[in-house]
Chains A and B, each alone.
Chain A
């Protein structure tokens, strides 16, 4: 038994270069395919009808079955429990809901009250965004934003979520705020980004149904000293 000093060739696969070229070709083909699909996806999402971003409609509040009253701040709002169910979280100054959407994902809505202390509605919006939702980027301001028929400020945001395990998702969020009698009320509505649906423009793209629920509910807000609806 001995260990020879010379080095000798070992058997190896023939046509090794072919497998590398094949793999490279598969990769390039897949890149091209997905790029084409991405380009098609972009053209499908283009706004084809009225692309102007209108102010939210001013309408009467819908009939609501349940009520939230902030004991500390004195504002009240009514909501349709048949749509959202009971609030998922409720304190003396805030109320929140989360409900699953038929299209997948969840819709979150929260009303929160605070003492205004000389701040403006826009400052309330920016402060809330910076404090709690900094992952979302601003898209456009909400023209004519109102809460409880009081003019305030609002912004639509978008957040891209790409966890290393889990589906890539784009979420839209609307934050609005108004102040009356030293009390500020902010609204946050958040849900998966939804495409504009033909003749039913959905500028905030957070889902038409959820969008309408938020809009109707914020119109039910009554301020301290006002009679609840």
Chain B
């Protein structure tokens, strides 16, 4: 059918060739119809009002969250940062540990509730991911917690042998990453969920349960110092910020990326584009391995907490951008369903649009919207 014979409310997408509603974006493949751009890097597939390379922490770590529901999460995260800084500057051991352990995991649990990622199985999903991660993290931290610190202290004093540096630096970090994946793999084996962002969220939840347990167990010895820490104020503050924000973010994003790449392999995908390498499981695993090898070496070799936190922050920023690119392409790749569904209200732009793989008005991937109410319907099957 030629473009001239189509009614004015339809057009042929120049990228996928489908007959789609006339809007800003192709509802089938997500391409930006004005320019015919398949990659649409100006519009992140989960939050199209943001550029692909916009360093949005909330939109990356909480991809199902609609724009209008993101404000409370931003405020809560900002409040968490402020509270951590205040507790760090005051040297409050118990308050600092509690806040560092809980702020990001609690936000994530609220997010899981808000967007109904678990559909009808909240206990199974949260139990298999977050709780399992927490239960694995406790013995892990109890048994291995001192190895890397002993190596760090040895390097700061008389030097440590190379095998200890490698085993207790990158070795322990990689082993921890493998353990963080356990919950995600339990859900993967059940074959019930098939969306890329399901894998991402399940991976992130497992990692956050793990980091919660590890933070509490590993910082527990600080409580013996009393209500206030004797460590230098700046060092204490940076350590609390690193533990409370950087480490959970890095662990959740890295584990989530592996989960997303695994889930992408679960069903059909569109043919790989020029950016197909960002969606492959081997690319993602290689990125995560490099990440933890680097951070593991930093952990046992760098004695200055200021330098350590700066390195972690830089890594977190790079990982954030890498995650956005990967998730963007994964969402574009898994959109194989070209059916035009009934008119429903888009969670993101609140316009009434035909239910398709992408909203024809704002371009958000339907699989990056909440599963609340009608959100569970017509989520583009593959």
Contacts and interface: CB of A to CB of B under 8 A. Distances in A.
Interface stretch (B39-47, B149-157, B198-206): B149-157
A3 B218 contact: no
Contacts of A168: 149, 218-222
A119 interface: no
Contacts of B130: none
What 3 A-B pairs have minimum CB-CB distances, sorted nearest first?
A11-B373, A42-B226, A34-B94
A41 B303 contact: no
B158 A165 contact: no
27 contacts: A2-B22, A6-B352, A8-B351, A11-B372, A11-B373, A11-B375, A12-B372, A16-B114, A26-B106, A27-B103, A34-B97, A36-B94, A38-B93, A38-B94, A39-B226, A104-B146, A135-B156, A158-B230, A161-B152, A164-B242, A164-B247, A164-B309, A165-B173, A166-B146, A167-B145, A169-B150, A190-B153
Interface in B236-256: 236, 239, 242-243, 246-247
A163 B218 CA distance: 10
B382 interface: no
Contacts of A165: 148, 172-173, 176, 247, 295-296, 299
Contact of B158 (A45, A98, A161): A98
Contacts of A5: 351
Contacts of A133: 156-157
Given A4-B343, A41-B226, A169 B110 contact: no
Given A34-B223, A42-B227, A8 B153 contact: no
A162 B246 contact: no
B305 interface: yes
Interface of A: 1-13, 16, 19-20, 23, 26-27, 30-31, 33-39, 41-42, 44-45, 88-89, 96, 98, 104-106, 108, 110, 132-133, 135, 137, 158-171, 173, 188, 190, 195
Given A8-B345, A12-B370, A163-B149, 8 more contacts: A1-B9, A3-B351, A6-B351, A10-B347, A31-B98, A35-B227, A158-B230, A169-B150
Contacts of B373: 10-12
B95 A164 contact: no
A35 B243 contact: no
Interface string B131-158: 0000000000100011111101110111
Interface in B157-215: 157-159, 172-173, 176
A20 B72 contact: yes
Given A12-B69, A26-B106, A27-B106, A4 B94 contact: no
A171 B219 CA distance: 15
B308 interface: yes
Contacts of A45: 224, 226
B372 A35 contact: no
Interface of B: 9-10, 20-23, 66, 69, 72, 76, 92-95, 97-99, 101-103, 106-107, 109-110, 113-114, 116, 141, 145-150, 152-154, 156-159, 172-173, 176, 217-227, 229-232, 235-236, 239, 242-243, 246-247, 295-296, 299-300, 303, 305, 308-309, 312, 340, 343, 345-347, 349-354, 360-361, 370, 372-375
Contacts of A36: 94
Overall SS of chain B's interface: helix
Nearest to B375: A11
A19 B149 contact: no
Contacts of B309: 164
Contacts of B66: 10
A77 to B, nearest CB: 17
Contacts of A135: 156, 303
A166 B218 contact: yes
A3 B312 contact: no
Given A8-B345, A23-B110, A98-B158, A166 B22 contact: no
B221 A167 contact: yes
A163 B147 CA distance: 11
A44 B217 CA distance: 19
Contacts of A42: 224-227
Contacts of B223: 34, 37-38, 41
